Amino acid sequence: MLVRTLRAVVVLLVFGLVGACATEPPPPPPAASTAAPAPRVDFADLEARFDARLGVYAIDTGTGREIAHRADERFNYASAIKSLLAGAVLRRNVDLDKVVAYTDADVQPNSPVTKDRRSVTVREAAEAALLQSDNTAANLLFAEVGGPAGLAAVLRDIGDTTTHPDRLEVELNSAIPGDVRDTSTPRAMAGSLRAFLLGEALPADKRDLLVGIMRRNKTGTELIRAGVPSEWPVADKTGTGDYGTRNDIGVIWPPGHAPIVLALMSSRATADASYDNKLLAEATSRVMDALR
């Protein structure tokens, strides 16, 4: 009797172990990464030479390699936000042929296109904001998406929970250190720009429209565009603010290579500090050398 009992216990144990193995297999080994290792690039010497804080985030969309320096620190985004604002207008399906009227009181400094007019189409406002950084045009676009809160909602919808829209032009350029208003990080700005220009945030026709406009931008000739060969297509948007804020975010199309998304953001210590475009141009050259 004792022998039979022991045999039954052994059988139960064996089948119990088999059942456990069948329902709880060991976890598979982690998949090997296929992305090339990220190159190491030091920007500290540029910061010292130009007496500036520099944020860099770049991603090679073909290989997945990234370059990051202060990529998760906050900077005032200044007029670089106009690229994401235009993307939000397109994502909200605003009628580009809609005529928007405005008054003398709405006209802001640095409004080369809108200052002598009192109405523009939404398309004209988008082109003015992107190509000449027209501030009145930007505020008209803000109105079309529901203000800074509306822009924030669109950005959250595409996965950007970092960028912090709060004010209109020209107040959004104050760049007070420690003030989270109207700030973002290089990584977040690059991610949102990538979503609008290369990803699925916009349908193909609107994506092509935004890319086409931004490729014609002339305000960045001394920034990202100065750091790559002149024949390479670049779609970018610059920004300038207090505390020496100088930014440029864009997509670069090297011949025969997948696009590279690059966000450069910089600032200095005092409210009236100037900026030097060579900082961002040299940073761009350093990024491209490393990725190539």
For residue 221, give both structure tokens: 């000739």
CB burial class (10 A; 0-12, 13-18, 19+) of residue 231?
exposed
Amino acid at 278: K
CB atoms within 10 A of CB 219: 18
How many alpha carbons fall within 13 Å on the CB side of residue 226? 16
- The CA distance from 252 to 154, in Å, is 24
Which residue type occupies 87? G
Give CA–CA dist 244/8, Å, rounded: 82
Question: Active-site residue 79, yes or no?
Answer: yes
Q: Which of 169, 192, 266, 282 is catalytic?
A: 169
Asked if residue 288 lies in contact with residue 227, where contact means CB atoms within 8 angstroms, the answer is yes
Is the bond preceding residue 113 a cis peptide, omega within 30 degrees?
no
Q: Is 222 a catalytic residue?
A: no
Q: Three-state SS string across 3-41, please?
A: HHHHHHHHHHHHHHHHHHHHHCCCCCCCCCCCCCCCCCC
The CA–CA distances, whole Å, from 13 to 18, 19, 256, 281 equal 9, 10, 62, 70
For residue 277 the two structure tokens come to: 């475009």
- Catalytic annotation, residues: 79, 169
